[in-house]
């Protein structure tokens, strides 16, 4: 079976990565030099599509660009220890756990506001009162 070359639009459809994002990944070096035809059009192969899908999935999981760069380097050296990949995943897991804890605090605060709402006049509204209360400024919840 002959290897297939994909245009950037086809590569985007196959990998689930938008065209401008593919160009960005090329610019920052997450994709190796892409072959170009006589008309200077980019042509992607199956390995490029697989790499793009890998990057997309890693981004969906919240890995930053440098972590992805390291993971790609590790992927390119399959005989290497996966200790670095494990460390990267563990660090991301810690970040997610912190985010979940922050969201749980946010949920508790919102539940309290709703529970204490008198459903009467705005002047007596606990939601408005809580949002106006500046005593929360120093105990800020982490914003998304």
**Domain chopping of the chain, boundaries:** 1-80, 93-144
Q: How many Cβ atoms are within 10 Å of 12's Cβ, its own excluded? A: 19
What percent of the chain is modeled with pLDDT above 70?
Answer: 79
- Segment 20-36 shows an average pLDDT of 88
Q: How many Cβ atoms are within 10 Å of 44's Cβ, its own excluded? A: 23
Q: Specify the range with the lowest mean pLDDT, choosing from 8-12, 56-60, 90-94, 127-131.
A: 127-131
Check residue 126 and give its pLDDT: 67
44 forms bridges with which residues in the sheet? 6
Check residue 98 and give its pLDDT: 96
What pTM was computed for the model?
0.74
Read off the pLDDT of residues 64-119 as tens digits, 9 standing for 90 and up. Answer: 999 999 999 999 898 999 999 999 999 999 999 999 999 999 898 888 877 777 66
User: Are residues 65 and 51 in contact, defined by beta-carbon separation less than 8 angstroms?
Assistant: no
Which CATH fold would you assign to the domain 1-80?
Multidrug-efflux Transporter Regulator; Chain: A; Domain 2 (1.10.1660)
User: Are residues 31 and 51 in contact, defined by beta-carbon separation less than 8 angstroms?
Assistant: yes
């Amino acid at each position: 079976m002959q290897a297939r070359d994909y245009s950037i639009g086809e590569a985007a459809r196959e990998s689930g990565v938008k065209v401008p994002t593919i160009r960005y990944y090329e610019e920052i070096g997450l994709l190796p030099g892409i072959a170009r035809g006589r008309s200077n059009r980019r042509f992607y192969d199956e390995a490029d599509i697989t790499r793009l899908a890998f990057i997309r999935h890693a981004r969906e999981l919240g890995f930053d660009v440098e972590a992805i760069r390291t993971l790609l380097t590790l992927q390119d050296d399959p005989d290497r220890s996966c200790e670095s990949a494990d460390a990267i995943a563990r660090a991301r897991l810690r970040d997610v756990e912190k985010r979940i804890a922050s969201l749980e605090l946010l949920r508790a605060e919102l539940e309290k506001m709703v529970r204490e709402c008198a459903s009467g006049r705005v002047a007596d509204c606990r939601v408005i009162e809580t949002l106006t209360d500046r005593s929360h400024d120093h105990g800020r919840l982490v914003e998304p």
